[in-house]
Amino acid sequence: MYVTPRPDVNDDPLFAVRLALVGMLSYAAIPLIDPVLPPIIAALPVGIIGAQRKAFNIGKAIGGPVAMIVLTAVMTWAVEWLRPMPLVYVGSMWLAYFAGFLMILRTGAQAGMLIVIVTVLMSVMGMHGSAIVETMRDGFFQASLVALVLAPLVYLLLPPRTGEQHVDDPQPGSGNAIVGAAIRATVLLGLSFWLYAVMQPSDMIMAVIAAMVLVFPTRQAVFFEASQRIRATFYGSLMGAWVLALFTLSPHLPVLLAMIFLACLWLASLMLSGQHPSNVYQYSISVGLSLIAGALSTQDPSYATFTRIVLTLTGALSAAVAVALLDALTGWRADARLP
């Protein structure tokens, strides 16, 4: 799957400051919106805006949030319509996973990843009932609108040095993509039931970890991505624990926002020059913001940190091992034909 390259400090020297500002303003929006699921508001805008490179791309700034709104609305409708028919519901989940993975393996396009992630989040929440899936939908609507407002604002305040726009270059895969997509859809379907059994709605941002591990086509890439997601969770947990610990010494919103800005600035700076891939640090910011928002609303900070790490380790590694074994048994990558 296509991975957004590391931001270039020569093209965009203010990248880290801009992303830190996004993280701070996203959290500042929570008291104004008063959402039921604050972690979504805190984490999603960073993921959408942080994926941009070089000059401001209004198409991506609008297209990403709009695509999220449309997909969550469609999935909410599908979940509520299909949930009374369990077998049809499960089969439809598998087909949606399969379609997303097939798009990824055939084209490398990130749109397939968005389909997979939204399907995981909405379908698993749908197992808890219509009220929860509608709450999740509303949370994504609110977070997408926050991203729509923040993206042009932060680029206006802190513009890049270059006027060149980044162009994605996804590469089509090879081998029997149908088999590869079926393997990943089946593993993710099993993982979805596990997520339903152990995770609460406020923790569902962590389900992205397991789905992201599976979108990569080779066994080596799957295990590498699993290790990077685990590392990102540790970094994000450390960020959240540090901010929450200092916040207890001075529990005031301006102090909290200042600490969030500094913590995001540190991780965003590592996106430019850190030893690990830039998406590790970007995801760490989302994890840290989600942890802070959840801990200050409904969760105990130590419990939230512990469960996020354990669930990430268990889910990501189990999914990676299952996919690697099935890939080896089927040998679909050895098939040079692209169905």
Query: Three-state SS string across 37-67, please?
Result: CHHHHHHHHHHHHCCCCECCCHHHHHHHHHH
**Residue 335 pLDDT > 60:** no
Q: What is the per-residue pLDDT across 170-223, written as a single tens digit (0 to 9) for each? A: 667 677 889 888 998 998 888 888 777 776 666 666 666 666 666 555 556 666
Of 19-28, 78-87, 118-127, the range with the lowest mean pLDDT is: 118-127
How far apart, in whole angstroms, are the C-alpha atoms of residue 9 and residue 261?
19
Judged on CB neighbours under 10 Å (0-12, 13-18, 19+), 302 is exposed
Question: For residues 45 and 330, what is the distance between their CA atoms, to the nearest angstrom?
Answer: 39
pLDDT at 251: 86
**pLDDT for 113-165, tens place per residue?**
888 888 888 888 888 778 888 888 898 999 999 999 999 999 999 999 888 87
Residue 231 within any structural domain of the chain: yes
pLDDT digits (tens, 9 = 90+) for 254-293: 999 999 999 999 999 999 988 888 888 888 898 888 888 8
Which two structure tokens, joined as six digits, stand for 27? Answer: 């959290």
Task: Give per-residue pLDDT as tens, 121-133.
Answer: 888 888 877 888 8
Per-residue pLDDT, averaged over 84-94, amounts to 91
In the predicted model, what is the mean pLDDT of the chain? 82
Residue 317: pLDDT over 80: no
Q: Is the pLDDT of residue 10 over 50?
A: yes
In terms of pLDDT, which residue wins out, 41 or 174? 41
DSSP H or E run through 160: none
**Is residue 308's pLDDT more than 60?**
no
Name the more confident of 170 and 53.
53
According to the model, what pLDDT value does residue 51 have? 83
Angle between helices 278-295 and 219-247 (to 10 degrees): 40
Residue 1 inside a domain? The answer is: no
- Position 32 in a domain: yes
- The reported pTM is 0.83
Is 292 inside any structural domain?
yes
Mean pLDDT lowest among 104-108, 112-116, 331-335: 331-335
Report the C-alpha gap between 318 and 311 in whole angstroms: 10
Higher-pLDDT residue of 319 and 73 is: 73
DSSP classification of residue 127: T
Query: Residue 8: inside a domain, yes or no?
Result: no
At 339, the pLDDT band (50, 70, 90 cuts) reads: very low
**Domain range holding 115?**
15-334
Q: Average pLDDT for residues 77-105, to the nearest whole number?
A: 90
Domain total for the chain? 1
Residues found in the chain? 339
Residue 3 placed within a domain: no
- Percent of the chain topping pLDDT 70: 82
